[in-house]
Structure 1
Amino acid sequence: MIRTEGFRKYFKNTSWLFSERVLRLLISLVVGVYVARYLGESLLGKLSYATGFIGLFFSLTGMGVDAILSRDLVKHPERRDLLLGSAAVIKLFGSLIFLVIVVGATFIKDMEPLTASLIVIIALAELFRPFGVIEFQFMAEVQARKAVHVQLGQLIVSAIVKVVLVLIEAPLIYFAWVYVLESFLLSVGYVWLYERAHHVRSWRVDRSMLRYLLVQSWPMLIYSVALHFQARVDQVMIGDMLMSRAGEMEAFSEVGQYSVALKMIETFGFLPVVVQMSLAPAITRAKVESEELYADRLLNQYRLMFMLFLVTSIPLFLIAEPVVVLL
């Protein structure tokens, strides 16, 4: 298996994704510590509360079409423009619904102005999300390096901006705008690289394709809603419960400490995600070729992902306390 051209191709693809995640981990850790020490527990907690609140509704921006798009771009490459165009429209629609719900929720909860402003600004970043469908085309072509180049460029610019904001002692609201900048840079980068081989203006939208994607994606949407809700509701609950008992500053301080621990867990969980993203096209093709090959590749993927979960949990256990103390 190791000597086959297919294995080398997917191994190289995985290596690009792995390298990007390692660099992101290192840069995010250094810059994250720098920013966290500048903001302090209370302001960091307020920013974390805002991102956690947005996370409750985040799944609406994808509308559950990601897995369907990833599969169909491999199975039906000739329908690329129709799939990408229709998926982008669905994601735009989902992002608008998401934005309306988030803004409405800030009024219903009667949040204080700064927290509400942070939530609305960060939510605006999702308006660029439709162009994220281009990443799935790169993955379908087993060209992860293209996506990695864009993501690393965005990461470096974002890190520089955050450092500059700390140096000029910028207020918290500016750090919320960094989320919008990151989303914008990612979209511009994806479009720029995509235009070198294809054309966004060739994308098409078709009612039957829209209907097909929505019918296929609704189970994934329900799953995604449940997943994101359970992953983010804890930050919001901690903030809301402590705010009524201990006051705003103490509540956001606790959220800040909790978010640091949560961020570490999310960051070190990248390895299984990288493997899943990289091997998805190979597994989809195997499904078309033969059920036996499909079952074999799926089993090997689960074995590999389980081992990677074990590998990431050990260093996380060892460095957790020193990192939290450092912050």
Structure 2
Amino acid sequence: MNLFNLAKDKLLNNDVAKKILGNSSWLISDKIFNMILGVFVTAVVARYFGPELYGEFNYALAIVSLFTVLSTLGLEILTVKSIVDKDHEEGTVLCTSFLLRVLGGIILTVVSCIVMWMLEPSDKYLQLIVLIMSSSMVIRSFEVIEYWIQAHQIAKISSLIRIIVSLVTAGLKLLLVYFRGDLILFSLIYTIDITIVSAALVIAYIKYRQEKSRWRFSISYAKEVLSQSWYLVLSGLMVSLYMRIDQVMLGTMMPNKDELGIFSAAVRIAEMWYFVPMAIIVSFRPVIMSKKKSNNDGYIRSIQLLYSIVAWMGIAFGVFILLFSRSIIGILYGPDYIESARILSVSIWAGTFAMLGSARGVWLVTEGLQRYSMAYIAAGCLINVTLNYLLIPSYGGYGAAIATLASQITVAIIAPAFFKPTRISSIMMLRAFNLKSLFLDIKRK
């Protein structure tokens, strides 16, 4: 108890820690609300459509998601870093990032439609769904304003926006079920959600920005940021592949989409806790980047503390889900999805390593080592595709879950250990699983 009180006093008397906690609390509150609302609404929708149609929607969503990650062009971390470092005017950073994302979104919308046409040449229904949802990649360009919010640690703005928009779109989804709408209308709601969020972000930026620098496109900054981001772009593609390829392969290798619907139900539950570590990672990001310049010891301790917090959050949530997986699936999705419980018992552990990988991304960019991420993410992608190819025919969604877990462990810990500059991150991640070190890190903080 004395150790707990000491840690509490340290946090409350540390201005940086209080800012992180304040920013994280808004991000976490937003995500908790969206998680509760989203899980309930998703369960209603999944029950309404059934495993087959729900699987078809998630098949289309997996195709779009493959390219949505890529459409960010790796600009999120780099844009936040540019705003924090103040090497360029804020308006130049945001305008250039926005226009680059618009161009990337247009190109990738076309690419995603072509890919779906190649995979399902005779299914015009799925092709239309992909077209509707992939158009959101262009609209998502306004997410550059969220980068500005992250850099200034004013998460209250975006959190309130997402809470309100979530209520609106949840209502639309329930109305769709009530009036017995189809997947086309459901895919439209997906795009409407992103459109409303984008419009609200623009309004918030105009109202709350303090630096009135003019928005202008800079070719020199575009070249600079793209020269740094191509590692992140390729990494994003490979991350997207090993995060979504299981759903794509399930949709193409299995005789129908039932198995994918069951698998997607499990993944939805397994991913619902991600918002907590991601909120903390986002809040730690500017602090870690700032400490790199002023306090190297504090910089290392901050990274280790971040790894430890993420690891033990994953363990706590994983044990809870493992104990109650069947009850959770039964209550939310009903007997048609009960096989999801077995898949969930494996999928839940992949999230811990996925979030550790996300936390390491801050360290990689700060150290200028993002080029190494390509190699070990490629290794994870190879492991995932190979194991999916071998396991899906015999084990279906359960085999895909095993493949995902193996690939996440490879990317987070095994592959980085083979490279001397990034080996320390593997060591720090292993140390993060020591509960005693977590309390010591808080104490030193």
Interval containing the TM-score (normalised by the shorter chain): over 0.9
Contact 2:67 2:240 in 1 (8 A): yes
Q: Which runs of 5+ in 2 are unaligned?
A: 1-9, 334-445
1-side partners of 2:320 and 2:40: how far apart? Answer: 17
2-side partners of 1:200 and 1:100: how far apart? Answer: 35
Tell me the secondary structure at the aligned position of residue 56 of structure 1: helix
Query: Structure 1, residues 104-159: CA drift from partner, whole Å, max 9, x if none?
Result: 12232314011111111110111111110101111111101011011111111110
Which residue is 2:60 aligned to?
50
Alignment of 1:236-247 (within 5 A): 236-243=248-255
2-side partners of 1:151 and 1:202: how far apart? Answer: 27
Residues matched between the structures, number? 320
1-side partners of 2:93 and 2:51: how far apart? Answer: 44
Which residue is 1:137 aligned to?
148
Alignment of 1:7-18 (within 5 A): 7-18=17-28
- How far has the Cα of 1:188 moved from its partner? 0.6
Moved more, 118-127 or 289-298: 289-298
- How far has the Cα of 1:270 moved from its partner? 2.3
Matched, 1:296 2:301: yes
Moved more, 9-18 or 102-111: 102-111
The one of 223, 228, 236 equivalent to 2:235 is 223
- How far has the Cα of 1:231 moved from its partner? 0.8
Alignment of 1:101-250 (within 5 A): 101-109=111-119, 110-198=121-209, 202-243=214-255
Q: Relative contact order (alpha carbons < 8 A, sep ≥ 6): 1 or 2 greater?
A: 1
> Which amino acid is the alignment partner of residue 10 of structure 1?
I
- How far has the Cα of 1:213 moved from its partner? 0.8
> Which amino acid is the alignment partner of residue 54 of structure 2?
L
Which residue is 1:252 aligned to?
257
Query: Structure 1, residues 35-56: CA drift from partner, whole Å, max 9, x if none?
Result: 1111111111110110011122
Matched, 1:313 2:326: no
2-side partners of 1:136 and 1:53: how far apart? Answer: 25
TM-score by length of 2: 0.69
Contact 2:90 2:213 in 1 (8 A): no
> Which amino acid is the alignment partner of residue 91 of structure 1?
R
> Which amino acid is the alignment partner of residue 182 of structure 2?
P
- How far has the Cα of 1:26 moved from its partner? 0.5
2-side partners of 1:40 and 1:127: how far apart? Answer: 31
In structure 2, relative to structure 1, the CA distance for the partners of 1:200 and 1:85 (3 Å cut) is: farther
Contact 1:57 1:229 in 2 (8 A): no
Contact 2:142 2:198 in 1 (8 A): yes
Contact 1:191 1:200 in 2 (8 A): no
Contact 2:70 2:240 in 1 (8 A): no
In structure 2, relative to structure 1, the CA distance for the partners of 1:186 and 1:257 (3 Å cut) is: same
- How far has the Cα of 1:324 moved from its partner? 2.3
1-side partners of 2:89 and 2:295: how far apart? Answer: 23
2-side partners of 1:162 and 1:278: how far apart? Answer: 31
Which residue is 2:356 aligned to?
none
2-side partners of 1:90 and 1:150: how far apart? Answer: 24
- How far has the Cα of 1:211 moved from its partner? 0.3
In structure 2, relative to structure 1, the CA distance for the partners of 1:37 and 1:46 (3 Å cut) is: same
Query: Structure 1, residues 226-278: CA drift from partner, whole Å, max 9, x if none?
Result: 111111111111111113xxxxxxx1111100000111111122221111011
The one of 95, 99, 115 equivalent to 2:109 is 99
Moved more, 277-286 or 265-274: 265-274
Contact 1:54 1:123 in 2 (8 A): yes
Moved more, 304-313 or 27-36: 304-313
Moved more, 147-156 or 292-301: 292-301
Alignment of 1:267-278 (within 5 A): 267-278=272-283
- How far has the Cα of 1:102 moved from its partner? 0.9
TM-score by length of 1: 0.94
Aligned-residue RMSD, C-alpha: 1.6
Identity of aligned residues (%): 23
Query: Structure 1, residues 270-327: CA drift from partner, whole Å, max 9, x if none?
Result: 2211110111111111112122221121111111111111122122223322232331
> Which amino acid is the alignment partner of residue 69 of structure 1?
T
> Which amino acid is the alignment partner of residue 252 of structure 1?
K
Q: Which runs of 5+ in 1 are unaligned?
A: 244-250
Which residue is 1:246 aligned to?
none
